[in-house]
């Protein structure tokens, strides 16, 4: 899509959305592909694993970044990026020197520390808060269960442990509210292949409500969020984004929305459930599996997805060596689950696609380009069917395939995939 001057949100307005609280509404027509508005991050934090390959200030990916002379763990494009980031980096710089290898606050803790610092130095409304201020964020405090409250207390303890010199803390009750606000309103910044780069707060973007039939998508240029139409939007129409991955069937999507955002979605897709049958496609066998067998396999699929998520979290942290046995174990989990699910599910079933995608990720990590391509080729067509039009997940998969074809010297296929 062509670049254009970033519009101010003058063609949009904040309003009371029936049954949803605050929302964002169009005051004029927007065409498919048009940029509705862009929002600089109120504050952002680069994920630790990307330090050295991306600038800690602007998140640009570059060779030959310059490191902070003191902690030697933050990297910048140039002096300007370093100076601009210093009010935030100084929160961590001396602590990283003091704690060394034991400096390990979570990304949520790091982001919250930066919000506290920003609120102290910039009490006035910022360029990121034209329509919604950070202090107006919903916390859903009354809906937090004991487990979520305990996790927040753990984060508060980590905040006090790792940050002291440059932070002034509010009382514990105010910190509970702030962490709850961050959990509900924080954003994950991703690159063009949807790999995790960091976390950020984009207040005006957070004003949009969720739909599983969104009419906009959010993309990132460094620490700038861009909101672009993927459907025609008429004057008076509400602007909807998606808070979650839309690959999964209705029940799974609403489980995620309830757990993270405390609501059920009532969009057309969730009301009709018209895509669920295709998303849960069963193999066409002479002796079809019983409803009980299918349901047992769905439960197995959900469990193995969660098992893999936990295994991936621990093994990727430990696996600095691409030949590590931990990565072999991750691939084995994928392959064994695919074999078991394949007895009941078609390859286009979303649970099969999920594990293929994870297997593809492991192959990419260990630079097994042919293995990654095999999985990607199986994924792309069902992705195109299951996801909405102009999905970033589909675009990202075509990009990965294009790069893989090019790496394997199949230029015609690579060019075709990249054009898609």
pLDDT of residue 314: 59
Q: Would you say residue 255 lies in a domain?
A: no
pLDDT of residue 311: 78
Whether 380 and 279 map to the same domain: the answer is: yes
Length of the chain in terms of residues written: 420
pLDDT of residue 216: 98
pLDDT digits (tens, 9 = 90+) for 184-219: 999 999 998 899 999 999 999 999 999 999 999 999
pLDDT of residue 3: 43
Among the three residues 157, 190, 223, which one is the final residue of a domain in this structure? 190
CATH number of the domain bearing residue 22: 2.170.270.10
Whether 208 and 338 map to the same domain: the answer is: no
Whether 319 and 209 map to the same domain: the answer is: no
Q: Is the pTM of this model over 0.85?
A: yes
Among the three residues 190, 214, 232, which one is the final residue of a domain in this structure? 190
Among the three residues 190, 224, 249, which one is the final residue of a domain in this structure? 190
pLDDT of residue 319: 44
Q: Would you say residue 261 lies in a domain?
A: no
Whether 22 and 73 map to the same domain: the answer is: no
Number of domains in the chain: 3
pLDDT of residue 291: 94
Whether 33 and 119 map to the same domain: the answer is: no
Decide: 120 and 169 in contact? Cβ < 8 Å. no
Q: Would you say residue 392 lies in a domain?
A: yes
pLDDT of residue 10: 75
Q: In whole angstroms, what is the distance from residue 147 CA to residue 162 CA? A: 23
Range of the domain at 71: 42-190
Whether 303 and 396 map to the same domain: the answer is: yes
pLDDT of residue 9: 65
pLDDT of residue 13: 95
Low-confidence ranges of the chain (pLDDT < 70): 1-9, 313-325
pLDDT of residue 166: 80
Whether 292 and 225 map to the same domain: the answer is: no
pLDDT of residue 407: 96
Whether 226 and 112 map to the same domain: the answer is: no
pLDDT digits (tens, 9 = 90+) for 6-32: 455 679 999 999 989 999 999 999 999
pLDDT of residue 325: 62
């Amino acid at each position: 899509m062509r670049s254009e001057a970033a519009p101010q949100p003058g063609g949009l307005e904040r309003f009371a959305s029936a049954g949803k609280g605050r929302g964002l509404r169009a005051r004029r027509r927007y065409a498919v592909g048009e940029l509705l508005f862009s929002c600089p991050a109120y504050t952002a934090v680069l994920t630790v694993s990307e330090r050295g390959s991306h600038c800690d200030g602007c998140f640009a990916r570059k060779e030959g970044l310059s490191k902070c002379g003191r902690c030697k763990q933050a990297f910048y494009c140039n002096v300007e990026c370093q100076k601009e980031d210093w009010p935030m980096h100084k929160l961590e710089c001396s602590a990283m020197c003091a704690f060394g290898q034991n400096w390990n606050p979570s990304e949520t803790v790091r982001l919250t520390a930066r919000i506290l610092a920003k609120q102290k130095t910039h009490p006035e409304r910022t360029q990121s808060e034209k329509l919604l201020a950070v202090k107006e964020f919903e916390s859903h405090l009354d809906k937090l269960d004991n487990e979520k409250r305990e996790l927040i207390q753990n984060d508060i303890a980590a905040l006090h442990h790792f940050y002291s010199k440059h932070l002034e803390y509010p009382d514990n009750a105010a910190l509970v509210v702030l962490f709850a606000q961050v959990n509900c309103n924080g954003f994950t910044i991703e690159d063009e292949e949807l790999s995790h780069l960091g976390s950020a707060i984009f207040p005006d973007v957070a004003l949009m409500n969720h739909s599983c039939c969104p009419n906009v998508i959010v993309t990132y240029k460094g620490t700038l969020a861009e909101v672009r139409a993927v459907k025609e939007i008429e004057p008076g129409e509400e602007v909807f984004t998606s808070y979650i991955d839309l690959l999964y069937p209705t029940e799974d999507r609403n489980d995620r929305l309830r757990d993270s955002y405390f609501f059920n979605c009532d969009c057309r897709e969730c009301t009709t459930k018209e895509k669920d049958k295709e998303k849960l496609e069963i193999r066409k066998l002479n002796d079809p599996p019983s409803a009980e067998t299918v349901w047992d396999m769905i439960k197995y699929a959900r469990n193995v997805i969660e098992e893999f998520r936990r295994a991936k979290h621990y093994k990727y942290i430990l696996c600095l060596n691409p030949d590590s046995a931990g990565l072999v174990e991750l691939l084995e989990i994928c392959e064994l689950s695919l074999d078991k699910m394949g007895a009941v599910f078609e390859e286009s079933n979303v649970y099969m696609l999920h594990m293929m995608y994870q297997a593809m990720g492991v192959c990419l990590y260990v630079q097994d380009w042919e293995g990654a391509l095999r999985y990607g080729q199986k994924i792309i067509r069902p992705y195109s069917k299951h996801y909405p039009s102009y999905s970033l997940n589909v675009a990202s998969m075509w990009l990965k395939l294009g790069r893989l074809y090019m790496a394997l010297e199949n230029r015609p296929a690579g060019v075709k995939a990249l054009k898609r």
